[in-house]
Amino acid sequence: MYQEYYNFSREPFRLSPEHGFAYSHKGYTKARAYMDYAYMQAEGFVMITGRPGTGKTTLIDALVNDMSREPVRIANLVCTQLQADDLIKMVAYEFGIPVSVVEKGELLQMLTSRLKTWYRDGRRALLIVDEAQDLSVSAMEELRLLTNLQLDSRPLLQIFLLGQPELRELILSPRLEQVHQRIIAASHLKPLEQEETEAYIRHRLAVAHWRGDPAVSKAVYPLVYRFSEGVPRRINLICSRLLLHCAVEEKHQVTVSDVREVIQELQSEKLASGDSFSESDFKVEDVFEDVVEDVLEEEIPAVDEADVKALSEDQLDANRTQEAAAQTLVQPRVASATGRTAPVSEARRRVPQKPAAGNVRTLTPQTARSESKKKSPPAPPALKSDWKPINQTNAVTPPDKTKSRRTWSMLTILDASISILFILLIASILVIITSWF
């Protein structure tokens, strides 16, 4: 329900194990390293223990997923108080032996033959036994005998044992001394610390494409840690109920009051086994922060103060130069049709000089506005083709009308002369043609 309300790509806090949400905390990383090492050794037992809900199955699922392209056949077996004969049957059936075979001797013979065939083909066999603390002593002995199957002095089967802390007690018992001696790696998954709990919650939200809705108060994480005791499955339970509660209430922030209400409901339902709480536990202030995106931003380099000062001075000089060039190119107003000219301001024809060092006056917004009121708006510049140098002592002279009339008369006479010459040329041609005929 809350998945659609908050636009998650998938539900981030499911109770069932999901290796896609695996969070590499300190204990998880250590256990995974031991398992990888033991797999490379290709022999013996590996033992992983932890309280219920600490992530053992998630660890195994992630390992199996990573080995999907390896030349290995994996049999994953979940045991619930199996005896020796039943265990052998389940192992054989998981490795592909037909279920029609029920005799122990025949099962072992067919299983050994299949393991040898895989070994010759360059393939390996790995048996994973979950909830192994429920195995009987005789069943453990049968597993040990399976590790004795060899070819060319190489074991044909490797076994990973996963279980609750009782598994360690079982392995350390005197009757299983030989099994204990064959364990080449062992690790115990502990509950998360408070800092790891916050990182775990944010990691699962990020995998579900959380973008800050709902916003989670920083004060929520310590409370979730306290009432979950750092056990991942309990964290999932509390967070799932928190998101459901906020979605029902149409909230977009997860606050301390929401945690208080959810924890009270879970404890009344006997689902939260953490410490009992009092009102003082929830008298903390909510603190929200921006969601950090999964995109690395480039670090902005620090700017030296001297560089900023030098840059400001250079920009100031450039501004003065541009202003001087603009004032130099300003043209006086062109004479109107009546022949009268507009006066040219002496200040506009004067090119400003660059002030000497030390005489630079800082221009503030207030002084800029006061000076802009004193200055008259600049006249629009004339076209470049009409531009002429300005004599500071003489105004623009209007065109001479008498000279224009004289030029027009000369052009008229020239045009008439050309026309007469053309007529005479045509008449001469006609006379010559007539004389021939």
- Answer whether residue 277 shows pLDDT above 70: no
pLDDT-derived band at 291, boundaries 50, 70, 90: low
Give residue 219's identity as a one-letter amino acid code. A
Higher pLDDT, 312 or 279: 279
* Interatomic CA distance for residues 200 and 228, integer angstroms: 13
* Interatomic CA distance for residues 188 and 27, integer angstroms: 8
- Answer whether residue 99 shows pLDDT above 80: yes
- Answer whether residue 404 shows pLDDT above 60: no
pLDDT at position 198 is 94
For 316-359, give the DSSP string.
HHHHHHHHHHHHHTPPPPPP-TTS--PPPPHHHHSPPPPPPTT-
- What percent of the chain is predicted at pLDDT more than 90? 37
Q: Measure the CA angle with vertex 66, ends 60 and 70; round to 5°.
A: 115
pLDDT tens figures, 165-178: 999 999 999 999 99
pLDDT at position 117 is 94
pLDDT tens figures, 217-240: 999 999 999 889 999 999 999 999
Encode burial over 412-428: b for 16+ CB neighbours within 10 A, e otherwise.
eeeeeeeeeeeeeeeee
pLDDT at position 331 is 43
pLDDT-derived band at 269, boundaries 50, 70, 90: confident
pLDDT at position 253 is 92
pLDDT at position 357 is 44
φ, ψ for residue 392, nearest 5 deg: -65, -15
pLDDT at position 178 is 92
pLDDT at position 410 is 73
pLDDT at position 292 is 46
pLDDT at position 373 is 47
Q: Measure the CA angle with vertex 404, ends 400 and 407; round to 5°.
A: 140
Residue with tokens 């001297």: 306
Question: What do you get for the CA distance between the two ends of the chain, in Å?
Answer: 118
pLDDT at position 118 is 94
pLDDT-derived band at 273, boundaries 50, 70, 90: low
Among the listed ranges 26-35, 123-132, 295-304, 306-315, which one has the minimum average pLDDT value? 295-304
- Torsional sign, CA 167, 169, 171, 173: negative
Element (H, E) at 275: none
Which residues, including other chains, have CB under 8 Å from residue 369's CB and lie 6 or more apart? none
State the DSSP code for 235.
Answer: H
How many C-beta atoms lie closer than 10 Å to residue 222's C-beta?
16
pLDDT-derived band at 337, boundaries 50, 70, 90: very low
pLDDT at position 384 is 44
pLDDT at position 320 is 61
Please report the domains of the chain, with CATH numbers, ordered by start residue: 2-12+193-282 (1.10.8.60), 26-189 (3.40.50.300)
Task: Give how far Cα 200 sits from Cα of 62, 228, 231, 350, Å.
Answer: 16, 13, 11, 73
- Answer whether residue 125 shows pLDDT above 90: yes
CA proximity to 361, closest of 352, 373, 374: 352
Alpha helices in 95-176 (DSSP H): 104-120, 137-146, 166-171
pLDDT-derived band at 354, boundaries 50, 70, 90: very low
pLDDT at position 112 is 93
pLDDT at position 201 is 95
Read off the pLDDT of each residue in 399-412 and give the average, rounded to a whole number: 61
- Answer whether residue 340 shows pLDDT above 50: no
pLDDT tens figures, 203-212: 999 999 999 8
* Interatomic CA distance for residues 241 and 147, integer angstroms: 45
CA proximity to 40, closest of 142, 163, 185, 167: 185
pLDDT-derived band at 1, boundaries 50, 70, 90: confident
